[in-house]
């Protein structure tokens, strides 16, 4: 079974939501394994400590083309990935085999009116959290 790696770059990520207008960043066959690199925290560029940014993430934050900003959401998405033979309306099974943090830092953001508890918080809050990747704890 082939294994593909899709790195996050200014030309393979997009911001704000899904879009059928973007060209595929990768073509795969059904059953292939894909290792996808992704970043979170684009909206916090300028507020995050330096250790939050790899050189690759800085490049994305500083040079993401306007046509890769496709919606109002705050999240970077890597892709799209084109599955050969898939047709509109097909249901695709995706199995996550592992999720591994790349950096020993993460964040938690509260935005009033957003998220799982939109009415519970009236003040925004952004907190950066040190991670112990070896121990798997924050």
Which string of DSSP letters, residue by residue, matches 3-63? EEEE---TTTEEESS--TTSPPSEEE-TT-EEEE-----GGGTTTS-GGG--HHHHHHHHH
Q: Is residue 110 domain-resident?
A: no
Q: Is residue 131 domain-resident?
A: no
Q: Is residue 78 domain-resident?
A: yes
How many domains, the chain?
1
Q: What is the pLDDT of residue 117?
A: 86
Q: Is residue 130 domain-resident?
A: no
Q: Is residue 113 domain-resident?
A: no
pLDDT band at residue 116, thresholds of 50, 70 and 90?
confident
HSE of 13, CA atoms in CB hemisphere, 13 A: 23
Distance CA 74, CA 33 (A): 27
pTM (2 d.p.): 0.86
Q: Is residue 121 domain-resident?
A: no
Q: Is residue 42 domain-resident?
A: yes
Domain residues for the domain of 82 are: 3-100
């Amino acid at each position: 079974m082939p294994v593909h790696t899709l790195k996050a770059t200014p030309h393979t990520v997009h911001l704000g939501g899904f879009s059928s207008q973007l060209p595929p960043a990768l073509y795969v066959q059904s059953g292939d394994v894909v290792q996808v690199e992704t970043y979170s925290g684009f909206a916090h560029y300028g507020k995050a400590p330096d250790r939050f940014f790899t050189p690759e993430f800085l490049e994305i934050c500083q040079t993401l083309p306007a046509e890769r900003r496709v919606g109002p959401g705050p999240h970077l998405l890597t892709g799209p990935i084109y599955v050969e033979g898939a047709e509109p309306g097909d249901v695709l099974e995706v199995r996550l085999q592992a999720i591994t943090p790349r950096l020993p830092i993460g964040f938690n953001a509260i935005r009033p009116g957003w998220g799982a508890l939109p009415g519970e918080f009236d003040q925004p809050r952004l907190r950066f959290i040190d991670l112990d990747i070896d121990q798997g704890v924050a």
